[in-house]
Amino acid sequence: MSDHETTPIPRRGFMRAAARAACALGIGGGAAYLVAPRTPGERVWQIDPEKCIACGNCATYCVLRESAVKCVHSFAMCGYCELCTGFFNPSPNDLTTAAENVLCPTGAIVRRFVEDPYFEYTIDQNLCIGCGKCVKGCKMFGNGSLYLQVIHDRCLNCNQCSIAAACPSEAWVRVPAARPHLWKKVT
Amino acid sequence: MTARGAISTRAAAGLIVFLALVAAVVAVALHDPIGRRGNRLGRDFAYETKDLRPIPPDLIRYAERAAFDAGLAVPRAIAVDAGDKIYVAGDRAVVWFTTHGAPAGARALDGEPTCLAVGADGTWHVGLGGHVEVFDPAGARAAAWTPHGARSYITAIAAAPDAIFVADAGERLVLLYRPDGAFVRPIGGRDAARAIPGLVVPSPFLDLAMGKDGLLRVTNPGRRKVEAYSLEGDLCFAWGEAGAAIDRFCGCCNPVHLAVLPDGALVAAEKGLATVKVCEPDGALRCVVAGPDLLGENALGCDVAVDSRGRIVVLDPAAKKVRIFEPAPPGGSRSQETGSAHE
């Protein structure tokens, strides 16, 4: 028998190695798909702020325990009001940050004095659950600078989005992944 | 296995199948993929306004006597001329109606109108975004004024015989012009030396009206006040408090529109909990014309005008209607006589 003569691979061993390779390829491919930047042709979920009625379903219908939907703030549209109706109850006792006066149940809006009589409002996205209560207040009395958007580093981009199915105003739309937000603009 | 054992095994299996079926039925009943049962968040997460502004019925002393379609997709402004003809601006046009609401004419504009005023001589002044255009009584364009500033956004115009007042929400100023378009002076800018706190305009709503006492009334929506200025730009007095009560101005930025009745009282319109009310010249609440039960909850605000007979003409942008109100005994603001005005 020559030195170069190879021993035949048993059929079972070959199948096992092939299965291992297929698994590794699948896992690697899946991971690469998840971490790879979105190509222009891909589409992701987003909320059309002009159609959204801030019903609160985004907070509870997401498959994630903490929804991928959060409130965002268009500073260019904001009036920087002393009495912000997205921050304060509709009839506050006083314009202070005492809990009885504040609208957000999770305390996710931060109010900061700028200059008399202007205040800046920012969203703490770690606390926001996407209930849309502030969105309603801002839209009803103010100019709608607070609105809901899908946050894409949280969203799983499910084919069949469970919030989209539960959205009563059909505000959920697919948008190009290269431009994944529908920002409100000053008109 | 004994017969008793077989029976008890069968009973246990049947019970398991039964419980599984019950569980399946409950799961199907509770499954709500299309959001029929709402968000299931608690009361803390609900935005409640329906009990925020109760209006005592005896305060409502106007009744809607007529309502007609404005015929525009986005009606924005309303005005009444000396002959009580009603003008509505919107959709790159001005349309006008007889005092009874019958269509009487229309004129296309080069842009989206933001406000409208018709002077005693029949001249129209139309705000088109950042500038004002002037039309003669026949509707021919007579002039186009240059914008005052880079951020100019014109939201109201009042025409007096010798002066034209323009509310510039973008620049947060009232601009006084001569009828020929020559700029005279700004009014309402912050000036500590003259004790003028300045206009605060969080959203594109700044209105004005010439009072019967010769003082210009200007809304200061961010401060929830109405301010009275002399023609020299001095702040004479101001009134208004923030709050949801009917004698106050609600939300972040109200009132949004003003008009003056023949007796000098002011008609003030609020957005959000849409309300039109009449206040004495010093600010005391006289009565309510219509509240959210008729005008709804809307963020648009109803423009208001007054005709020579003291009728209050309200542009309801949500319903795209013109509503005409007349004084009535205390009670509801929707009269049984309501209907198409020109029927």
Specify the pLDDT at position B169: 96
Contact B131, B152 (CB under 8 A): yes
Most confident of A15-24, B50-59, B169-178: B169-178
Average pLDDT value over all residues in chain B: 92
In a domain, B323, yes or no: yes
Read off the pLDDT band of B55 (50, 70, 90).
very high
Instruction: Print the domain residue range for B128.
Output: 57-327
CATH code for the domain in which residue B206 is found:
2.120.10.30
- Cross-strand partners of B288: B60, B277
Q: What is the ipTM of this complex?
A: 0.84
In a domain, B146, yes or no: yes
B71-86 average pLDDT score: 96
Cβ–Cβ of B202/A140 closer than 8 Å?
A: no
Cα dihedral A83, A85, A87, A88, rounded to 10, equals 70
Structure tokens given for A10: 């048993």
Q: Which residue of A has its CA nearest to B112?
A: A187
Cβ–Cβ of A133/B47 closer than 8 Å?
A: yes
Specify the pLDDT at position A10: 80
In a domain, B15, yes or no: no
Cα distance between residue B312 and residue B292, in whole Å: 17
Specify the pLDDT at position A34: 62
Q: Is the pLDDT of residue B31 over 90?
A: no
Interface residues of chain B, partner chain A, Cβ below 8 Å: 32-35, 38-41, 44-49, 52, 200-204, 222-224, 242-244, 250-254, 271-272, 297, 299
Most confident of B10-14, B127-131, B333-337: B127-131
Q: Is the pLDDT of residue B338 over 60?
A: no
Cβ–Cβ of B222/A57 closer than 8 Å?
A: no
Cβ–Cβ of B203/A139 closer than 8 Å?
A: no
Cβ–Cβ of A137/B47 closer than 8 Å?
A: yes
Cβ–Cβ of A140/B222 closer than 8 Å?
A: no
How far apart, in Å, are the Cα atoms of B286 and each of A35, B189, B246?
Answer: 66, 30, 11
In a domain, B159, yes or no: yes
Read off the pLDDT band of B76 (50, 70, 90).
very high
> For chain A, how many residues are written?
187
A-chain residues within 8 Å CB-CB of B192?
none
Residue B274 DSSP symbol: T
Of A78, A85, A131, the CB nearest to B41: A131
Specify the pLDDT at position B50: 80
Cβ–Cβ of B40/A82 closer than 8 Å?
A: no
Task: Return the amino acid letter for B111.
Answer: G
In a domain, B218, yes or no: yes
B294-310 average pLDDT score: 90
A-chain residues within 8 Å CB-CB of B223?
117
How many domains is chain B partitioned into structurally?
1
- In tens digits, chain A (187 residues) has pLDDT values of 444 556 677 888 888 888 888 878 888 877 766 655 555 579 999 999 999 999 999 999 999 999 999 999 999 999 999 999 999 999 899 999 999 999 999 999 999 999 999 999 999 999 999 999 999 999 999 989 999 999 999 999 999 999 999 999 999 999 999 999 999 987 6
Out of A30-34, A105-109, B9-13, B49-53, pick the least confident: A30-34
Cβ–Cβ of A82/B222 closer than 8 Å?
A: yes
Q: Given CB atoms, is A137 within the 8 Å cutoff of chain B? A: yes
Of A82, A141, A166, the CB nearest to B34: A166
In a domain, B117, yes or no: yes
Cα dihedral B36, B40, B45, B51, rounded to 10, equals 60
Read off the pLDDT band of B26 (50, 70, 90).
confident
In a domain, B229, yes or no: yes
- Cross-strand partners of B146: none
Of A136, A140, A165, the CB nearest to B33: A165
Cα distance between residue B270 and residue B226, in whole Å: 12
Say whether the peptide bond before residue B57 is cis (omega within 30 degrees of 0): no
In a domain, B52, yes or no: no
Specify the pLDDT at position B340: 47
